[in-house]
């Protein structure tokens, strides 16, 4: 059975485009990714032909969100129940999305996110918080840190010990820290 992976991308279209390599990598490893997006980005993902399941958060831009608090709570409970029935093996939270991390914790599955710095030399991840975490969590922050390549970051999702070592030498290969997204 294929590994079901929930990828939570709470972002704009440009950020969605940057998650393409991650989705391809999950597919290449025999996984089955499902994108959880805000409704404003769902149509863009479908029009791009992203090769994964696409679902949206409930209530954003939805007229029913004006319902009473008890109706919204019931809708959220139903959403979490539906997500639990999907039996995801892991969750990848992009863009430092607190609600996505809370959902992953409710689902009780391992979470990868923009909250650790992985050092290849020591082979251990270190927690990253505060302003640095926010900086690398934003796509603008990623683009500003030119020495960090997205392909390196996607490798970080495989976890420590599964990251292949780079060949010695070669132009521009850095052995410095890599942000695990």
Q: What is the pLDDT of residues 42-73, one digit of tens each?
A: 888 888 877 678 998 876 555 555 667 777 78
Q: Is the pLDDT of residue 96 over 70?
A: no
The verdict on domain 1-113 having CATH code 3.40.50.2000 is yes
pLDDT > 90 fraction of the chain, expressed in percent and rounded: 7
pLDDT at 113: 61
What Å distances lie between residue 34 and 51, 56, 145, 164, CA to CA?
9, 10, 28, 25
Pairing of strands 124-127, 116-119: antiparallel
Q: Three-state SS for 99?
A: helix
Q: What angle do CA 144, 101, 91 make, to 5 degrees?
A: 90
Q: pLDDT by residue (tens digit) across 106-145? A: 888 877 765 555 555 666 666 655 444 444 445 544 444 4
pLDDT > 70 fraction of the chain, expressed in percent and rounded: 54
- Are 92 and 5 spatial neighbours (Cβ–Cβ below 8 Å)? yes
Segments making up each domain of the chain, as ranges:
1-113, 114-181
Structure tokens given for 91? 């969750």
pTM reported for the whole predicted model: 0.61
Q: What angle do CA 32, 28, 19 make, to 5 degrees?
A: 70
End-to-end CA distance of the chain: 26
């Amino acid at each position: 059975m294929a590994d079901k992976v929930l990828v939570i991308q709470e972002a704009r279209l440009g950020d969605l485009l940057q998650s393409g390599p991650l989705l391809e990598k999950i597919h290449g490893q025999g996984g089955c990714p499902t994108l959880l997006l805000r409704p404003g980005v769902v149509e863009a993902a479908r029009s791009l032909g992203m090769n994964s399941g696409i679902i949206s958060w409930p209530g954003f831009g939805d007229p029913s969100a004006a319902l009473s608090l008890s109706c919204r709570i019931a809708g959220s409970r139903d959403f979490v129940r539906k997500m639990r029935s999907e039996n995801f093996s892991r969750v990848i939270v992009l863009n430092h999305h607190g609600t996505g991390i809370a959902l992953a914790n409710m689902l009780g599955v391992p979470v990868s996110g923009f909250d650790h710095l992985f050092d290849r030399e020591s082979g251990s991840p270190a927690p990253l918080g505060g302003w640095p975490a926010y900086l690398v969590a934003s796509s603008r922050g990623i683009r500003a840190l030119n020495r960090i390549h997205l392909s390196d970051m996607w490798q970080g999702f495989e976890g420590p010990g599964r990251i292949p070592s780079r060949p010695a030498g070669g132009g521009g290969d850095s052995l410095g820290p890599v942000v695990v997204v």
